[in-house]
Amino acid sequence: MNAPPRPLLPPGLYLLCDDTVRVDMPLVLKAERMLAGGARVVQLRMKRTPVREALSVAREVVRLCRRAGAVCLLNDRVDLALLADADGVHVGDEDLPAEAARALLGPGRLVGVTVRDAEGARAAREAGADYVGVGPVFGTTTKQVPAPVLGLEGLARVVTDSPLPVVGIGGVGLENVGRVAASGAHGAAVVSDVLLAQDLAERVRLLTAAFERGRVGG
């Protein structure tokens, strides 16, 4: 019998449902509004949510994503991803290594890894990753990132040389998401531009349309 096909990360907008930005709004409501705007990929990034609450939020957000046909990934936490039956995880330098995440998750879930260059992307592929998050593309105040800003040219270079699909992250918003798409990136990850918008669903619609226009060079 053949192994089950490896799931693919949907291209386009990649949204982080994050508890460090817009802290007054519950995570489940953030996810609902993102999905109402047509989100296809939601990463649940919980840096300040106590773990028991995080598990129940993860279960609820996975349920909402599944109903909407969207992919739900857990940031950092392979244990929560398994317990909540999420579609995968995103890990970086301070998390479990990608090999360990893959070993725990098996072949049927997605593993995303943060890298800073194409060499990192090649190592991530060897470790069993499905895609790489690459940043910071632009300056960001959401996180202090221990790496220089890549800019669009730097991102495009990684895209060209990466053996894995690249998701650009860091300072991505309505002003520049089309150019991120035009760089050849598979996806564009957005935190604050969506979470700080008055109407999250409408912002997701606008960003999605702008990514599509950029991708086709329109």
Ligand X SMILES: Cc1nc(C(=O)O)sc1CCOP(=O)(O)O
Binding site for ligand X (CB under 6 A): 114, 135-136, 140, 142-143, 145, 169-172, 190-192
Nearest-approach distance from CB 191 to ligand LCLJCK34, in angstroms:
9
Backbone angles phi, psi at 161, to 5 degrees: -95, -5
Ligand-binding site membership of 75 (annotated): yes
Find the binder of Mg ion among 76, 87, 130, 193 (CB under 5 A).
76
Q: Which of 33, 90, 109, 215 binds ligand LCLJCK34 (CB under 6 A)?
A: 90
Please report, as residue ranges, which positions from 99 to 128 form the binding site for ligand LCLJCK34 (by CB under 6 A).
112, 114
Strand, helix or coil at 70?
A: coil
CB of 131 to ligand LCLJCK34, least distance (A): 8
Among ligand X, ligand LCLJCK34, Mg ion, none, what does residue 170 contact (CB within 5–8 Å per kind)? ligand X
Separation CA 150–CA 139 (nearest Å): 9
Q: How many CB atoms lie within 10 A of CB 60?
A: 17
Q: How far is the CB of 155 from Mg ion (least distance, A)?
A: 20
* Of positions 9, 31, 57, 167, contacts ligand LCLJCK34 by CB under 6 A: 167
Are 118 and 157 within 8 A, CB to CB?
Answer: yes
CB within 8 Å of 183: residues ≥ 6 apart: 152, 155, 156, 159, 168
Nearer of residues 58 and 194 to ligand X, judged by Cβ? 194
Determine the Cα–Cα distance for residues 205 and 62; give it in Å rounded to an integer.
21
Task: Output phi, psi for 158, to 5 deg.
Answer: -65, -45
Binding-site annotation: residue ranges for Mg(2+): 76, 95
